[in-house]
Every structure is written in structure tokens, then in C-alpha cells.
Amino acid sequence: MQFELKKKDAQSKARAGIITTDHGTIETPIFMPVGTVGTVKGVHQTELKDEINPDVILGNTYHLYLRPKTKILEQAGGLHKFMNWDRNILTDSGGYQVYSLSGRRKIKEEGVKFKSHIDGSYHTFTPENVMEIQRSIGADIIMAFDECTPYPCDYNYAKRSMHMTHRWLKRCITHLEKTPFKYDYSQTFFPIVQGSTYKDLRKQSAEFIASVGAEGNAIGGLSVGEPAEEMYEMTEVVTAILPEDKPRYLMGVGTPINILENIALGIDMFDCVMPTRNARNGMLFTAHGSINIKNKKWEDDFSAIDEMGITYVDTLYSKAYLRHLFAAKELLGKQIASIHNLGFYLWLVREARKHILAGDFTEWKNQMVKQMDKRL
């Protein structure tokens, strides 16, 4: 993988760059739609490619390991072939999913023993087998196996957890060196900074992660319920330490406003279930604020879903029609809203990139943040 910095913003830490992998280029800053189990929920691969047009999407190790299982993925020739997606894929290591199973898991130095949410069977994830699973899935960018701390989190627990994540990282790297690529393209490994909401721990973790010299770095354990201000503070502490010539990925963030603020703090890559999850609940994001399409006020509004027309659904259907689909619990409603929201998120990061390259990002960002902070 290569990363080339194209432009740095003068008034903020925002940057525009290009990541190149064997599956093509990723123009940063980028938002990565989440395709947890090998599908971006409710969206066909054709619509994903032609309408939303992301350079990279996400898959999840925990979910794919449980279903369809690695054997099937290997027989298919990897996740790209299995889901018929010829662009980039990044897989999360499953650390976060195991963290969210709180009552169904036991964390020890060796790894995590957990109970499947599907059939209650027991499994163990270790740094070693998670690297092997990610080799089998075959994503272009693979993540270290980490422990994600809850929020709020006691200082001593956060500290112990961070040190364990660091020890696990060494095991991931040692094992990867012995585990060859499974398919005819290479994979890139990103370690993950932890440390909860404690500045000194974040600093320590960022220094340790930077010292590993990986091709890109991620920041984990944020967007788990902490106030946005704390998230920004932690991002700022970490980006000051992580190498400038490597991409920085903020995991699981966030709202359109969170994304713009973190771009301004020097983040290059984002992922979040919010555009699709909120879409399925009738919440639409637009450049002028958010819309709850289930509200009665849209019942007789025959104007286009979004006059900006970023994706074809925006001008093909009216707000009244989309509201009707949600009221009737029709599947199509969730699909339309998902395409709209993902299209908007990708438009937003691409617009941010244009403004970074043009040199007026900060001004544009401040205006957008004000504009989007409304309920329509």
C-alpha cells in the first residue's frame, strides 16, 4: 500500500491524500460504508458502485467468521469474489463486536472467549487466529486485534487494557510475518490506538503505535458514548503523535458533523453504521439538517427527497411517498433512505476533499457544521 499526501490545509490539520492498494485508489478523506456481513445493508452492489461510489467498504471479522465461516470464504476465493466487489475492502478485527457482547465474553491475556450471538456456541479469538481469519477473508486493509474499553471507564482498567492491546499487537505482527497472503494480492495491516478518554494514556498508546512503523494507523475506542468534545480532544492528542505520512483511520465515527470536525483534526478515514442504521429508522441526513421522514409534516410534501440529487433516489421519489413507505413498513423505504444517506456521506467527504485542495476548507467546514446542525 502507498499513501501520498496531496495537500495540507493552512488553517487546520485537514489533509487530502491518495491511498493505493492492489484493488485501486482511495482518495482521502474517505467515508467507508459498513458491510458487516458481506453486504451494505439494503443496498445492491450495483447501486453501491454506481450511485454511492465508495472507494472502499468495510467487512467485519467477527460476523464473517461466524457466518458464512472462513471455509466458505476461502472456497469462494475471498470476500471480494464472494460478494462480487472489485474495489477495496477493510476488515475490522472483531475486537469491538466482542466488546459489545459484554455478558457473553471473558477476556484473558491469551485472548477472548465468547459465546456466538447466533447459536450460543463458544469460540476463542486470539491475536494469532484473528490474523489468520483476516488472511482468509482477504481484505486489502486488516486491523489489529484490540480490546475496546467501555465508556465511562476507570483509569486503571483503561491502562491495563491499553497495555494488553499493545502486547496483543506484538503478537499480531509476529504471527502475520509467518502467515502468507492467501490470494493473489497483498494486505496492509493497521494497528489501533486505545487509552479511553485519558490524555496521558492516549499519548502513550499513540507513541507505542507510531513506533511500530505500520503502513497506516487507527484510533479505536471512541464514539462509544463519550461527549463529542472529549472525542475531539482525544483525536487531537493522537494525531499530533501519529506519523504525518501515514493514513489515520478513526474507527466508528460518526455523525456528518463529527466527520467534518475530525477531518479538521487530521483524520483521513472513517466508518460508521449511522447512515444505514438511521436510514432504516427513517432518519435522513442532508446538507441542511436531518429529517425524520416518519413525521406527519411530510405526509403531503410532494417535493423531492433531496433537491441536491446526489443519488438517483433523491429526485425519483417524493418525501410524501417515502413517508408512506415507512408508515406501511415497506422494505423499499429502508432501501431508499439507505442509498440517500450513504450518497450524502460520500458527497460530504468528497466535498471536504475539494475544499482542502482549493484551500478554503475551514471556512466551508464551519458553514456546513452550522447548516447541518438542524432538525428539519
Please say if 271 is a catalytic residue: yes
* Number of other residues whose CB lies within 10 A of the CB of residue 273: 14
Please name the amino acid found at residue 138. G
Closest CA relative to residue 372, chosen from 355, 347, 354: 347
What one-character DSSP code corresponds to residue 187? -
Please say if 268 is a catalytic residue: no
3-state secondary structure of 149: coil
Return all residues near 98 (Cβ < 8 A) that are at least 6 apart: 62, 105, 112, 114, 125
Closest CA relative to residue 65, chosen from 37, 35, 33: 37
Q: How far is residue 149's CA from residue 102's CA, in Å, rounded to a whole number?
A: 11
In sign, the C-alpha dihedral spanning 339, 252, 87, 260 is: positive
Name residue 304's beta-bridge partners.
318
Cell of 131: 490474523
Q: How far is residue 252's CA from residue 200's CA, in Å, rounded to a whole number?
A: 22
* Number of other residues whose CB lies within 10 A of the CB of residue 219: 29
User: Choosing from 55, 92, 140, 314, which is the catalytic residue?
Assistant: 92
User: Does 254 sit behind a cis peptide bond, omega within 30 degrees of 0 on the bond before it?
Assistant: yes
3-state secondary structure of 19: strand
Cell of 26: 482511495
Please name the amino acid found at residue 359. G
- Residue 301: phi and psi, rounded to 5, are -95, 105
* Number of other residues whose CB lies within 10 A of the CB of residue 92: 27
User: Choosing from 9, 55, 271, 314, which is the catalytic residue?
Assistant: 271
Residues identified as active-site: 92, 271
